[in-house]
Chains A and B, each alone.
Chain A
């Protein structure tokens, strides 16, 4: 079948095209700071400069002290966020909350506000309540940031679950909590994982909230340390900045790699 050949070839070509900027990133992150030149961006680089550059970033930006807290934020924030989002979706779709659409719009409105405009009022609120510069404060804000997206995806995913599943469970005498926890959530694993990894990546890469709502080294997330390398007033050399960007991307890339299996599971459709 022609389809069987064309499809992988087409996807491979497009995929390679997509990886070209990644090649440029790696090639130039592997150059010695003095060797970099924009006239030679395409030129491959071999040798150990990549690791040296990464070590340079690690020490200069003191990434070690920020990685742990960022990890905590990127796991707890989206985890709690996706559960809260799923419960919103469950209330609207399965329990048929009155005026569900408007409640949904209310939550969705959270993503509509431009984040930059929330920073200063959030900072003042955090400073007044003692949440400023605390890990719990950052976990809280990262959770909230994850809720609207989670609610949107989960709400719509739940509409794909036939309502008689819910009815049947009720007939069996299950409580709503149990139906949510034991039936709806397990059925939505792939959607939840997708929401989780997308939000975890977003949080891992967040700069603005971390910058504004925290100050000390063991609370501030990793991006605040990394961007300090890029500055008009004496930043680092380009290969070092790129190596830094690459270094902090490793956890998120690994996260994507590790979760791909989930998105290929349970397929029984075959070719069409």
Chain B
């Protein structure tokens, strides 16, 4: 890379040429801008996790000193048949979370972002996120318990399946909990999509309209590609959140009955906090983290680098 500092030229050609090397004049200030974030994240999130990673190679019950046992925890984790259920349920959560709340969120955003009073039409979907977890957990337990609010309503309308034991039978319990989670998450996704839609510059949209584009064509060829930065955020966060699904399940079934609705995060919590097997719980969390990180890097790399080429 040429060390002569390329002074900025409004001409975009110069910009493209200097990109790969970075402009020497901004190297230090770029580092300065990124530093605070890097330091606090490293100190308060990475260091604690390193400790957990260390524990995963030990036997430790919370008292005394951890005893080094190498890979035993990992062997124990992979030889537990319940891990399979856990993996299967987690996979349901990932697919369900990307399909349902992301889909609904996108639909709501596209329908409301340029509509009169759009923000107010969007509000009902945001309220669930604003309501505290305590109340949400209780209410959904009422709705989904056998003979609960959902069953009563279905019964009133004569719908079949009113006597389903929503939270007791697997995999039905996982599916209905995905529904409950979607109720809370859709509005958030809609909000993020709206921000993306609002940042789309007017010109290309106007140009397309002049060309006669509207409805689906407009969405597919103009809005969708330009919405990409925020779609990446929504999908990326959904992947991470769904792989780490914990709260909803813990509140409603604690992974039961008989471990049938357990997710990886529940397995991790159970080993660590219920069983006090910090090492085994650590191993599950390292595994969960590796899976999540791999999935997000694979997704983000493709998304973020493809755009670079635009």
Contact = CB atoms under 8 A, between A and B. Distances in A.
Contact of B269 (A88, A116, A241): A116
A113 to B, nearest CB: 5
B31 A97 contact: yes
B23 A96 contact: yes
Given A24-B142, A111-B240, A245-B135, A144 B45 contact: yes
A195 to B, nearest CB: 9
A202 B171 CA distance: 29
Interface string A14-53: 1110110110110011000000001101100000000000
B237 to A, nearest CB: 7
A113 B142 contact: no
Interface stretch (B46-54, B82-90, B159-167): B46-54
Nearest to B188: A198
Contacts of B33: 87-88, 90-91, 95, 97, 176, 180
Interface stretch (B69-77, B92-100, B121-129): B121-129
B66 interface: no
A269 B114 contact: yes
Contact of B289 (A12, A25, A112): A112
Given A7-B111, A106-B41, A272-B205, A171 B188 contact: no
B179 to A, nearest CB: 11
Contact of A18 (B130, B135, B183): B183
Given A116-B269, A122-B44, A167-B15, A101 B132 contact: no
Interface in B272-302: 272-273, 278, 281-282, 285, 288-289, 292-293, 296-297, 300-301
B114 A270 contact: yes
B225 interface: no
Given A96-B23, A112-B240, A42 B139 contact: no
Contacts of B135: 25, 29, 241-242, 244-246, 249
Nearest to B191: A194
Nearest to B26: A95
A71 interface: no
B176 to A, nearest CB: 13
Interface of chain A: mostly helix, strand, loop or mixed? helix
Interface in A117-147: 117-118, 120-122, 125, 140-141, 143-144, 147
B77 to A, nearest CB: 14
A184 B202 CA distance: 19
A15 B126 CA distance: 10
Interface string B30-48: 1111101110110111111
A149 to B, nearest CB: 7
B168 interface: no
A161 B136 CA distance: 38
Contact of B10 (A88, A167, A201, A257): A167
A84 B114 contact: no
A12 B121 contact: yes
Contacts of A246: 131, 135
A21 B37 contact: no
A38 B142 contact: yes
Contacts of A263: 119, 122, 191, 194-195, 198
Contacts of B111: 7, 10-11
A107 interface: yes
Interface string B154-195: 000000000000000000000000000001001010011011
B127 to A, nearest CB: 6
Interface string A85-117: 101101110011110010111111111111011
B57 interface: no
A219 interface: no
Contacts of A16: 124
A194 B192 CA distance: 7
A75 interface: no
B234 to A, nearest CB: 10
B152 to A, nearest CB: 6
Interface in A197-221: 198, 201, 204-205, 207
B289 A114 contact: yes
Interface of B: 8-10, 12, 15, 19, 22-23, 26-27, 29-34, 36-38, 40-41, 43-49, 51-52, 108, 111-115, 117-136, 138-140, 142-143, 145, 147-149, 152-153, 183, 186, 188, 191-192, 194-196, 198-200, 202, 205, 209, 213-215, 218, 226, 229-230, 232-233, 236-237, 240, 244, 246, 265, 268-269, 272-273, 278, 281-282, 285, 288-289, 292-293, 296-297, 300-301, 304-305, 307
7 contacts: A87-B36, A88-B37, A95-B30, A96-B23, A122-B44, A171-B10, A176-B26
Given A95-B33, A245-B134, 7 more contacts: A42-B153, A112-B240, A118-B52, A194-B191, A241-B134, A267-B198, A269-B200
Interface of A: 7-8, 10-12, 14-16, 18-19, 21-22, 24-25, 28-29, 38-39, 41-42, 84-85, 87-88, 90-92, 95-98, 101, 103-114, 116-118, 120-122, 125, 140-141, 143-144, 147-149, 151-153, 156-157, 159-161, 163-164, 167-168, 170-171, 176-177, 180, 190-191, 194, 198, 201, 204-205, 207, 223, 226-227, 230, 238, 241-242, 244-246, 248-249, 252-253, 255-257, 260-261, 263-264, 266-272
